Copies of this chain bind each other. A is one copy, B any other.
Amino acid sequence: MRPFLDLTDLSDDRLQALLALAGELESAPVRRSLAGKIVGLLFMNPSLRTFASMDAGVKQLGGDTVVITPGQSSWKIETEDGAVMDGEAAEHVREAIPVLAQYADALAVRCFAGGRDLQADLADTVIRTMAALSPVPFINLESAAAHPCQALADWKTLDDLAVPRRGGRFVLSWAYHPKALPYAVPASALRMAAMRGMDITVLRPEGFSLPESVMTGAVEIARHSGARIRETSDRREGMEGAHVLYAKSWAAPSLYAKPEEEAALRSPLRDWCVAESWFETAAPNASFMHCLPVRRNVKVADEVLDGPRSAVVRQAGNRLHVQKALLLDMLTEERP
């Protein structure tokens, strides 16, 4: 069983089957399919939705979880090969993963970007090393470069909102945030929209293009799917006819691992807080999407989040359904 590390690991057929199964589970959430099975959840970083939806999902399917939170109830875990471990970390993933795999029928792991080496983070070396160490099925719950469970939920949300694949206009917009954030979510959202064959605009201020390899990867996907991708820093133009605005913040790639310089470039951009006025040129009833958590009135105004176009709660709800479908797909013979 191959690990699930990125949405692109799924063929279009398997993806459609997962979405069909997710729809069934949305209507009938409780099964006994995972009875006697344990899913190990390893959270190297904090979580609300991802943890709660995985934990609830496994249990609604009759299984059980074991949750490890290094740096909290467990010690810090080293991820670098060959490390001389005389610092804070007391254990290495080379032990932690094979050990936990003996107690669980699958592992699901969150491990954010290290933030020091852009190329290593974009190559997702850490989560790929961890997956390779696991003899049991392995699910990425957000790594340096990808958040595929979110992307799968986002796909279902676009289906729920009846946004068409071909011709659906998807705007991925940068938004202000007090911290430099990683690329996992925007890169996964971009790849998802590209796999879906959509008409995509990346809307961002100058200096905040996504990393080149993220863009070229999406363009390569688009070449097969028929998607179109363009970039702009002009909000009115970028939002023209948009069916969906998907907001997210990310660090300026040219200043990765240079937090002070990056903050200086970012700090004048506080007006990139999504407001109703952004939707003036959008399609009627355009939707607003965000992976959550979201800082209200910093990244997105209350009026958007509390208004009728917000799909953020539905997106989060879909996390549960698609992850349960994934678990059934990876751990059982059940198919839609």
Contact = CB atoms under 8 A, between A and B. Distances in A.
Contact of A102 (B98, B99, B100, B313): B313
Nearest to A299: B85
Interface in A85-99: 85-86, 89-92, 94-96, 98-99
A51 B78 contact: no
A76 to B, nearest CB: 10
B102 A316 contact: yes
Contacts of A95: 292-294, 305, 312-313, 316
A222 to B, nearest CB: 31
A297 B80 CA distance: 12
B36 A60 contact: yes
Given A46-B73, A69-B73, A297 B36 contact: no
8 contacts: A38-B56, A47-B74, A48-B91, A56-B103, A59-B64, A69-B73, A72-B72, A84-B296
Given A47-B73, A52-B40, A73-B43, A85 B320 contact: no
Given A94-B305, A99-B316, A293-B91, A48 B66 contact: no
Contacts of A68: 48, 51-52
A268 interface: no
A49 B294 contact: no
A143 to B, nearest CB: 18
Contacts of A298: 84-86
Chain A to chain B: the 4 pairs with minimum beta-carbon distance, closest first? A91-B293, A85-B295, A30-B36, A56-B103
A259 B212 CA distance: 51
A296 B85 contact: yes
Interface in A41-58: 43, 46-49, 51-53, 55-57
Contacts of A52: 40, 66, 68, 99-100, 103-104
**Number of copies of chain A assembled together:** 3
Contacts of A82: 297, 302
A89 to B, nearest CB: 8
A13 interface: no
Interface string A11-37: 000000000000000000010000010
A297 B84 contact: yes
A39 to B, nearest CB: 10
A260 interface: no
Nearest to A295: B85
Contact of A292 (B43, B46, B99, B297): B99
Contacts of A43: 73
Contact of A96 (B48, B59, B73): B48
A279 to B, nearest CB: 20
